[in-house]
Amino acid sequence: MALLPDEAFERDLHRRLLDDDPVAPAVLARTYLGPVVGRLKASSPGVGDDTIFQDAATDAILNYAERPRQFDPAKSKLFSYLVMAARGDLRNALAKQRRRERREVLHNRVEDLPPARNLVQEESEPASGAGESTSLEEVRRAVEMVITDPTDRRLVELMLDGERRTEAFASVLGIAHLANDQQRHMVKQHKDRLKKRLERLGVKLRGRS
């Protein structure tokens, strides 16, 4: 990494930015973009896409150039401030990338499932062999990625297991103290909502009321 400028340079550059010097933003970028990118790459060696580092460093530098008063020279050096800001942008970008990758993986898995077929056997049907159990496992993996609420996950597990007793669902929902008709009504609402979410994955639970 190139040698960083001294504090006198930082103070002068900061003053020029505060004074709206039209040349100062270019000096800022030319001086700090490379070093900030280098520091980000060194701290995140597992990231193979250099563009994400460039974007994070550029955003941090532009943000400071547009709002120089947010930086207090008495609290930190300019380079440290820019690296800290860029790391925040980098974390957000990586989190967004991971979410996009998870959606793509889920989409690919769902595309591989036969659409709108009954992947869960009805109680009256005999087991059809390893192929059916494999499909069910794919459904469970897809559910884990899409349904993150613990209560909803437990309800779906009961549905996939073929559970039909209202009291089993009421226990998970914490409504076992209510009257039976209230339990049935609330359980049906939750099951109908979750069935719609599963159907968006191409999964229909036939024979499950």
- Please report where in the chains the tokens 């062999």 appear, as a residue: 129
- Could you please report the per-residue DSSP string of 71-84? --TTTS-HHHHHHH
Q: Could you tell me the pLDDT band of residue 115, with boundaries at 50, 70 and 90?
A: very low
Mean pLDDT within 6-34? 91
User: Quick check: 49 pLDDT over 60?
Assistant: yes
Instruction: Give the pair of three-digit tokens for residue 112.
Output: 């591989």
Please state, in angstroms and rounded to a whole number, the distance separating the CA atoms of residues 135 and 159: 15
Q: Could you tell me the pLDDT band of residue 166, with boundaries at 50, 70 and 90?
A: very high
Tens of pLDDT, residues 52-69: 888 888 989 998 999 999
Is residue 9 within 8 A of residue 24, CB to CB? The reply is no
User: Quick check: 129 pLDDT over 50?
Assistant: no
Instruction: Give the pair of three-digit tokens for residue 173.
Output: 């929902």
Instruction: Give the pair of three-digit tokens for residue 38.
Output: 């280098």
Looking at residue 156, its pLDDT comes to 85
Domain ranges of the chain: 7-104, 116-199
Is residue 190 within 8 A of residue 173, CB to CB? The reply is yes
Mean pLDDT within 160-178? 89
Opening angle at CA 71, ends 66 and 75, nearest 5? 170
Please state, in angstroms and rounded to a whole number, the distance separating the CA atoms of residues 153 and 157: 6
User: Quick check: 72 pLDDT over 70?
Assistant: yes
CATH code of the domain made up of 7-104? 1.10.1740
Looking at residue 42, its pLDDT comes to 86
Looking at residue 17, its pLDDT comes to 93
